[in-house]
Structure 1
Amino acid sequence: MQIYVVKIGDNVDSIAAEAGVPVSTLLWDNQIAYPYRLAVGQALLLDNERNGKMKSPLHVNGYAYPFINPETLDWTLPYLTDLSVFSYGFTTDGDLIPPMADDSWMVNVASANGVRPVLTLTPLGEDGKFNNNLVTVLVNNPDVQKNLIWELGRTMTQKGYGGVDIDFEYVLAEDRVKYAEFVKLVRQVMNLFGYQVSVALAPKTARDQRGLLYEGIDYRLLGEAANRVLLMTYEWGYTYGPPMAVAPINMVRRVVEYALTEIPAEKISLGIPNYGYDWPLPYEQGVTKAETINNLQAIEIAIDHGVPIQFDETAMTPYFRYWQYGVQHEVWFEDVRSLKAKFDLIKEYGLSGAGYWQIMNFFRANWLLLSDMFEIKEGML
């Protein structure tokens, strides 16, 4: 596959003719709808020759809420090893709190398609909010842990889950060791029944990195405790932060390089964002709030406002600015160029997986490029 960047004067017919691909293929692969408008600077995936070379296997995980569009899930499942359902919480007694919407249908559809359904566990309380006090109570109380693990096993057996993903953020520094011990205990118990256990890690670049997001996350201990880890290499650009790339490749590389000093490459999945942000300008800390958009929406915004899409060669990420109702906006999102940079990083460092936050919107070019570069592992045990 090749990547083509739209120039002034291009149209779908001229690009397809030059690349030697059917127009219908170009439109389908890049989800270009009638009247087939393009933005200058837009990156297109051209499927003019399938990769016939041997491809390295890749474990692919995607997070999704139970309210995902069933058609979107159907389109995505062929490209997944695991489907992580987001999310289950728990109480201070260790009782499991199910998602707001029924998740059984997702488990059944995933299993029917040979994809392993994974129960995602987060410190989500009864009030529906994340609470790191729940983590402290859990990791310091063996009885609460015992009850929660029993609840996990019962729920997984009843619903047909094949694994657990532990996604605890803002773990307190004083809970660092006990948190890793809890993950290890979950893995030891779950592995006895054939269930896999993964853990999501905040994107650290050094062992002693300061900050609430990092101090309670010990890469070495958690890497030893779980079957697999996901590096959450996204959210540099985030809802309340200043405009910038969500996953700048220069920062992603630093996280990977540090992770490899603590965790074997065969256990590591690289986190990949499937979204972007639209910030109103000027940015004011504590006031400005970005709107989350998907990658196709970003392109539509650029087309609607007649602005070219730029590409930051350091972050390896597309961006642009536009004006609306007297307010200037800045947009950062993902395209096949930024995604390929991440896939190349996986190959360069010999990582064994990729994990998507999240798969609620279908971006076909991503999945076509991924499957062209890797052989996606089967998910069922």
Structure 2
Amino acid sequence: MRKHKNLVSCIIMMAFMISIMLPVAPAYAFSISDLVGQTTGTTDAGGTKSLSTDKGFLNILLGLLLGNLLGKSDSVPAGGSTKGNSGSGLTSSKDLVGFYAEWWGEDTSSYNSMVKNADVIKTIAPFWATMQADGSVTDRGGNDHASVVKTAHQNNMTVLLLVNNAKQDTGTTPVHTVLADPVLRTRAIDNFEKYIKKYNLDGVNVDFEMVPAEDKDNLTAFMRELYARLKPQGYIVSIDVFPKQDETNDVAAAYDYAELAKYADKIMIMTYDNHGTWSGAGPIADINWVERNLKYALKAIPKNKLYLGIAAYGYDWSAQGVQSLEYKAIMDLAQRYGKTVQWDDASQSPYFSYTATDGTAHTIWFENSQSLNQKLALINQYDIAGAAMWKLGEEDPSAWNVLRKQFNK
């Protein structure tokens, strides 16, 4: 036994002496399980991740020796190193989720943005399905789903099916009909599972909006049942929630942050549309409003599960109504009418006003790389899991310079 201990000590001492003679490399938090891991491992995206080439051979050698002689550390959970901030002191890189939508058959803006920025985007959530009042799931159409999924997986991205709820026409809200009925909840979950398996997806992103406040417990029950079905099979379960700063916000009352956090791997707080079609002109995402919502969410949602919603678009307000515009269209308007983009220090947001040829006054507020940079600072300040951008293809192209610094894979 003493000889065995002496052998272990010698090996560790030799490894230490070799390591200090090698060139200095950046320091990263790691655990014993990191050292005993394989040269590639499964990521959340279902792809692979490579070990750093710095001291790579030494790390593998150390891993084999320590793994065989010392065994795994009791402090490391089964299945590998801990991700996020779970109390172990370990950290993982931030995750950028790109919401993906095709508004017509030949709309490839999201696809083009995904491919061009594959080194930054870790997850996409394609808006392909809608849950109906009878628990069925209808396909929204668009481009070849299988090809999108294949391309995303080839670029080591997770693909989560974004499912929204059918909107109310008359009478009872469809989402209430499903959530309040255990039989319909099961039917909907069955259909979610079928869709995910049909297209070889990695999980689901539940985007139920304008859920009646009375369905708070029903929504939690749905997510609990969905999680129990999909999680044991290795699928990711995520949900988008409305932002709030207290529990009096009617449109956000159905989202029980603390309970939903038990049944979701990722929670995207939709911190945009601070102003929109229901209000007068103003910032899309006032930085102060965003931070207050973030701080409130963190009271109930673990930071390693929380994603900050960021916008890639803007709104044009006029007496004729409110129109949503992508960044390129906004810049085209500024150029056409010879307007310089202004900057609002209070909200950390860009805007400008113009008068159309018909004499109608317009005001545009939007998001660009500069305003986006302010939101990313909050992600670092509060050390949350990442960001979720609506949507790929609408953004300021220069925003990727900012995103690349934060999320480069």
TM-score (normalizing by structure 1) = 0.77
- What is the number of equivalent residue pairs in this alignment? 312
- 2:326 paired residue number: 294
Contact 1:87/1:120 (<8 A) preserved = yes
CA distance in 2 between counterparts of 1:75 and 1:231 reads: 26
Amino acid aligned to 1:82: T
| 1:230 matched to 2:268 | yes
CA distance in 2 between counterparts of 1:60 and 1:220 reads: 23
- 1:108 paired residue number: 150
| 1:170 matched to 2:210 | yes
Match of 2:253, SS state, is coil
Gaps of 5+ in 2: 1-90
Q: CA deviation at 1:360?
A: 3.0
Q: CA deviation at 1:114?
A: 1.4
Q: CA deviation at 1:141?
A: 1.9
- 1:124 paired residue number: 166
- 2:396 paired residue number: 363
- 2:119 paired residue number: 78
TM-score (normalizing by structure 2) = 0.71
| 1:201 matched to 2:241 | yes
- 1:311 paired residue number: 343
Match of 1:104, SS state, is helix
CA distance in 2 between counterparts of 1:231 and 1:138 reads: 23
Q: CA deviation at 1:357?
A: 0.8
Amino acid aligned to 2:188: L
CA distance in 1 between counterparts of 2:142 and 2:181 reads: 29
Q: CA deviation at 1:255?
A: 0.3
> Once structures 1 and 2 are overlaid, which stretch shifts more, 302-311 or 151-160?
302-311
Amino acid aligned to 1:134: P
Amino acid aligned to 1:58: K
- 2:108 paired residue number: 68
Match of 1:78, SS state, is coil
| 1:273 matched to 2:311 | yes
CA distance in 2 between counterparts of 1:352 and 1:312 reads: 28
Q: CA deviation at 1:131?
A: 9.4
- 2:228 paired residue number: 188
Q: CA deviation at 1:78?
A: 3.1
Match of 2:94, SS state, is strand
Cα deviation, 1:79-129, whole Å, max 9, x if unaligned, reads: 21111111312233322211133533322221222111111111126x9x7
> Once structures 1 and 2 are overlaid, which stretch shifts more, 257-266 or 85-94?
85-94
CA distance in 2 between counterparts of 1:201 and 1:84 reads: 15
CA distance in 1 between counterparts of 2:116 and 2:170 reads: 31
Match of 2:186, SS state, is helix
Match of 1:199, SS state, is strand
| 1:261 matched to 2:299 | yes
- 1:96 paired residue number: 137
Q: CA deviation at 1:362?
A: 4.8
CA distance in 1 between counterparts of 2:351 and 2:131 reads: 39
Cα deviation, 1:172-219, whole Å, max 9, x if unaligned, reads: 12210121121121112111111101110101111x2232x1121211
Q: CA deviation at 1:352?
A: 0.9
Contact 1:165/1:197 (<8 A) preserved = yes
Match of 1:165, SS state, is strand
Q: CA deviation at 1:271?
A: 0.2
- 1:335 paired residue number: 368
Q: 1:161 aligns with which of 201, 204, 224?
A: 201
After superposition, the Cα gap between the structure-2 partners of 1:246 and 1:106, relative to the gap in structure 1 and judged at 3 Å, is same
After superposition, the Cα gap between the structure-2 partners of 1:320 and 1:362, relative to the gap in structure 1 and judged at 3 Å, is closer
- 2:257 paired residue number: 219
Gaps of 5+ in 1: 1-54, 282-287, 377-381
Match of 1:331, SS state, is strand
Over 4 Å off, 4+ runs: 129-132
| 1:58 matched to 2:58 | no
Match of 2:289, SS state, is helix
Identify the structure with bigger relative contact order (alpha carbons < 8 Å, sequence gap 6+): 1
- 1:37 paired residue number: none
Contact 2:166/2:175 (<8 A) preserved = no
CA distance in 1 between counterparts of 2:186 and 2:339 reads: 57
> Once structures 1 and 2 are overlaid, which stretch shifts more, 315-324 or 237-246?
237-246
CA distance in 2 between counterparts of 1:58 and 1:106 reads: 23
Give the share of equivalent positions with the same residue, in percent: 26
- 1:28 paired residue number: none
CA distance in 1 between counterparts of 2:146 and 2:396 reads: 25
After superposition, the Cα gap between the structure-2 partners of 1:86 and 1:131, relative to the gap in structure 1 and judged at 3 Å, is farther
Contact 1:88/1:124 (<8 A) preserved = no
Amino acid aligned to 1:91: Q
Match of 2:209, SS state, is coil
Amino acid aligned to 2:213: A
After superposition, the Cα gap between the structure-2 partners of 1:56 and 1:334, relative to the gap in structure 1 and judged at 3 Å, is farther
- 2:356 paired residue number: 324
CA distance in 1 between counterparts of 2:187 and 2:299 reads: 35
After TM superposition, the structure 1 = structure 2 runs for residues 5-24 of structure 1, keeping only pairs within 5 Å, are none
CA distance in 1 between counterparts of 2:371 and 2:142 reads: 33
